[in-house]
Structure formats: C-alpha cells, structure tokens
Structure 1
Amino acid sequence: MSDKEDNISGYCAKSWKLIRDLFHENFIENLDIGASLCIFYRGECVVDLVGGWFDLENDRRPYTHDTLQPVYSTGKGVMATALALCVQRGILNYEEKVSTYWPEFKQNGKENIKIKDLLSHRAGLTVIDNDNDRILNVEDILDDPTKITYLLAKQKPYWQPDIGD
C-alpha cells in the first residue's frame, strides 16, 4: 500500500524517515486502522503524522489531526519519567523503601516495598479500598486530594508483594 492508500499525511523531518516508514508499516501489517503520531525532539516538532481511517466498516472517513483518540495508561509513562528525573537528581532512589519518603505507607504489610516494586507493579496494590465500601471515583479524589494518599497508605496488598532485589 502507498501513503495515499493508507491516507498518511503530515510532516516528518528527513532524519526521522525511519519513523515514517514504521508508521506506514503498521498499516501494511494491519496493526493500525487509524493513528496519529507527533514527536518533539529538543523542543522541535520532528514528526507529526496521521494516517489510516476512522471507520473502515461504514464510511472510510479519513483519520485526521482532529480525530478524537481514546488514550489509555498515558499517566504511567509521564509518572515513570517524572520519577526517573527525581532519581537522576538524587531526590529518590529506586532501591529505597517507599516508607523512607512516606512513613505512613509502612503499614499492613507494605514496610519492605521499594520504589522499584511500585514502578514494576509488584506491590500487590491493584485496588484501593474505600472506607465506606463505595467505589472510589475521580470526584472523591478531586474533592479531597489527601483522601487518596490516606487510603493508599492504609491499603493492605491484595497478595504478598513480590519484593524485588
């Protein structure tokens, strides 16, 4: 398939052509129906591509820069980057126990959990119990930001944490 058949358009700096080729390959191998990709490098936009289709089954509307995209788990990358920056600056240490930085965390079997255990999803903290058995929602957290830290500090792991060394 060509870029035209895949509806690929946008900007790609010459030195980033490999990224454009990989973007195109996703459509050739049916890994994407529609997608957008924007990369900034050292403050400059080096890739800003869209391609494919919003809806193949009904009307083949092109995927454009204005197509709304559901995004999942984007906070994980941002949080990992922020923590890596803290480690680089000597503020945090991956090998240190969470309770070194947050003493209230050291309860209900969490006393040996390290920063790296949280980042690698090995701490057994997949769900946060709410005091009143009601499902915790975004409004609860926005209304009282300290509530989430309180609940997480007292949370008991759902399984014995797989503490890594």
Structure 2
Amino acid sequence: MAVQGTTADAFKSLKEILQSNLDNGEEIGAALYVSYNGEPVVDIWGGYADEKRTRPWTEDTIVNVWSTTKNITALAALILADRGLLDLDAPVAKYWPEFAANGKEKVLVRHVLSHTSGVSGWDQPFEYSDIYDLEKSTARLAAQAPWWEPGTAPGYHAVNYGHLVGEIV
C-alpha cells in the first residue's frame, strides 16, 4: 500500500522511509504531520489501521496515542506556572477544593505533575467506561484517600493524570 500525502522537498526522504517501513513490515500503518513556522512540511500516512490489515490507514484515521498526551498536559500546567497563574507548591485543593477530602489536603500540584500524589488510580471497584464520565471520575478521585503519603513515593498516573491535571488547570 503506497504512502499518501505530501512533503516539502527537504522532507521527501521521510515519505520514502515510511514506505520502506511499511513494505518491510516494521510498521503496519502510521501517519506523520510536521509543521515549520506554521506551514505544513510533512503530511503523510499509509499502511493499515488494524493488525489484520483490513482497514486502510487514511488521512483521517484516529489512533490512541496513550501517554504522549501527558507531556502536553504537563506543558500546559507549566506554562500557567511560568505565567504566575499556577503555583506548583500550592495544595491541589487551592484550585480544586473538593480534592482536599479524605487526607489529600497536603497533595501539592507538583506531586500530581511528578506522579507522587498518592492518587495514581481509582479505588476499586471501577469500570474503565467510567473514565469517560468526567464528573463521576473526578468526583471519585476527589473523594478517595491517597494510597500513600503524598510526595514520598512515585506511582505512575497511567490513566488518571489528565483527570487530575484537568481539574487543577
């Protein structure tokens, strides 16, 4: 399946590399978009959107990018901190008062950003479909106790990082 899309002349090799990776099986499907000074210089896609290779990867294929969004989420918070609009050493409850419940009053913004808040997930039972109900999922995070003393140990906020930072910012 041929790679589709466009590249500026200086980036034509990226299209060739993606084609090679698809041809030799290193990739099933992928897309790449790069802009420079606000102008698109790479906008390519190709291959398949599923492992069985039944759905072609199109210009509009939606994919889960998993934890790469944590970088952007943290960057948004840090931009606010840089502008003096968010205090990294303030308790989360300064921005999200309900979060102070059940022993979390000492959780700082920096604890959430650094995955040391003690709230690295939801207390069970919890259905993954509940993640998409922001009101329910954030209310549960606000109500539960931390799993350890905030700031004393790391615990990857694999799924709830965006929920926590989203309520802060």
Q: TM-score range by the shorter chain?
A: 0.5 to 0.7
Task: Kindly provide the CA deviation profile for residues 29-73 of structure 1, in whole angstroms up to 9, marking residues without a partner as x.
Answer: 8552100122334432222111333457566x653314x333143
Higher helix share: 2
Letter in 1 for 2:81: V
Which consecutive unaligned segments of at least 5 residues does structure 2 have?
154-169
Of 63, 69, 83, the match for 1:70: 63
Q: 1:125 offset after TM fit, Å?
A: 1.7
Q: 1:28 offset after TM fit, Å?
A: 7.7
Alignment coverage as a number of residue pairs:
151
Q: Distance in 1 between matches of 2:116 and 2:151?
A: 5
Q: 1:121 offset after TM fit, Å?
A: 2.2
**Any idea what SS the aligned residue of 1:50 has?**
strand
Q: Distance in 2 between matches of 1:101 and 1:56?
A: 43
User: Quick check: 1:84 aligned with 2:78?
Assistant: yes
Tell me the TM-score normalized by structure 1: 0.63
Alignment of 1:129-148 (within 5 A): 129=123, 135=127, 137=130, 140-141=133-134, 145=135, 147-148=136-137
Which consecutive unaligned segments of at least 5 residues does structure 1 have?
1-5
Residue identity (%): 34
Larger radius of gyration: 1
Q: Is the 8 A contact 1:114 1:163 kept in 2?
A: no
Which residue of structure 2 aligns with residue 158 of structure 1? Answer: 147
Which residue of structure 2 aligns with residue 3 of structure 1? Answer: none
Tell me the TM-score normalized by structure 2: 0.62
**Any idea what SS the aligned residue of 1:107 has?**
helix
**Any idea what SS the aligned residue of 2:102 has?**
coil
Q: Which has the higher contact order (CA 8 A, sep 6+)?
A: 2
Which residue of structure 1 aligns with residue 98 of structure 2? Answer: 104
